[in-house]
Structure formats: C-alpha cells, structure tokens
Chain A
Amino acid sequence: MKLGIMVSEGPYTHQAADTAYNFAKAALEKGHEIYRVFFYHDGVNNGTGYTTPPQDDRNIVNRWSELAQQHNLDLVVCVAAAQRRGIVDADEQKRHGKSGNNLAPGFRISGLGQLVEAGIQCDRLVTFGD
C-alpha cells in the first residue's frame, strides 16, 4: 500500500516525530511504500541539520536522513512553514541573503501542493502532530 505521512510538530518537544518515524519504519518493514513524508507547521524543524542532541539521546534529524537514504524516501519540508521558522537550503540562503543554510541531507524544500498531491497519490495519509 502507498502511504503518506504528515509530521506537524518539531522533534524533542512532542513525541509526534518519534511516533511518525517508528510508524514509517514499521510500514517499510512490512513492505509498504512510503510515498512521501511531509513536514508542516513546527514539523519543519525535523529538517534542520544544525540539530546536535546529547550523545546519549536519539538524533531525530539524522534518523530521518538515514531512513531516507536506505529507502529512497521523499522527505519534503514545506517552504512557507520553513521560511517562517528559519529552515533554508542553499538556494533559499542565496535568495534571501542568509548567512548559512541548515537543511539536513535527504530533505528537500517544496510547496504545500506536495501535501495535497500526496493525499491524491496515496492510499492513506496519516498525520502525526500535537
């Protein structure tokens, strides 16, 4: 089955990102396809590569990047929500004249249409948030 996931909260503050990750992993293990993981609201903070948790804690951002690499996942960070919250890739950095960029490997920044399109393409869309 083709599954879509929306993550609406950032890592660490809410469990949503952990639950979404565990769900995605279980779905992949069962042979389902994850068509896209869309990060919205504060969920865009799942895509900041500046995240450096203590060594004995899970690295939620790296965990997404690794899962994306292993399974060729499409991790999409909403551009409007990301700009509000200071998540930029190299292109956005140039366009807005920022001093750096912080989008983690395996993520891409795109529009909200990607969420609606996931709803159209997927058999199920599951939201994880607060």
Chain B
Amino acid sequence: MDEMDMEEGGAVKKFMFVNRKAPYGTIYALEGLEVVLISAAFDQDVSLAFCDDGVYELKKGQDTKGIGVKNFSPTYRALEGYDIEKLYVEKESLEARGLTEDDLLVDVQVLSSAELGAMMAEQDVVISF
C-alpha cells in the first residue's frame, strides 16, 4: 500500500453513502446526512450518491415552515466545508423526475446509471439510506 493511502489509524477506505429516499416523508435522508457529517472526522475517502427519490434531497427551494419540520437542505451546501466534495447524482433519476442540474442546490457531478454503478462497485464500504 502506498503512503498516500495511509493515515494515522490505518488505510483510508472508500465510503459511499447512497441516498435513495426523499426528505421529510421519512427520516432516512436526515439521519443519513448526520452519518455523513460524522464520517468527515475520520479522514476517509467519502462520496455521496443520490439516486431514485434521493435526488429530491437536493432540490432547490425547500421551505418547511408549513410542516413544522426543520429544513436541513442547506446542510448539503455546507458539506464542502467538511471536505466532502464528491457528490454524484444519477442522470436517469433526475430525468425521471423532470429535474435538471439547475434544480439542485449544490454543485454535483451527474453520472449515468452505468457510471454510478461502476463507481459503487469500487467502494470499500457502501452505506445506503
């Protein structure tokens, strides 16, 4: 293993958090994001994938005042400050929902299903919410 891969606690692993659920209807997106934030403290190679209804987590213009639930969407914009910069969105999921990259509140890399699948396959740890 080369030196680049070594950290104090051992080798750096590739973690992918796969977000497939819409926000608010269930808690998975919010509690998933909490894991992502904690993972930043472990100096691992972290990426986030958004597919299926998970792409709705990144939709611009979320306003939760009327439902009495905290709007956590601004946190996705704060991920950069935690050095979490690999955000992948599946193109097919966006298109199926009538969305484009312009509808998203943070900069992402849009990947085809096959590209996302290939990236998923090369991870050490995949955690799905």
Contacts and interface: CB of A to CB of B under 8 A. Distances in A.
A117 B34 CA distance: 15
Contacts of B125: 119-120, 125
Interface in B10-35: 10, 13, 15, 27-28, 31, 34-35
Taking residues whose C-beta sits less than 8 angstroms from the other chain, chain A's interface range is 10 to 19
A116 B39 contact: yes
Interface stretch (A16-24, A67-75, A107-115): A107-115
Looking at chain B's contact residues, is the secondary structure mostly helix, strand, loop, or mixed? mixed
A81 B31 contact: yes
14 contacts: A41-B27, A41-B28, A80-B31, A80-B34, A81-B31, A112-B34, A115-B35, A115-B127, A116-B38, A119-B15, A119-B124, A119-B125, A125-B126, A125-B127
Interface of A: 6, 8, 40-41, 80-81, 111-113, 115-117, 119-120, 125, 127, 129
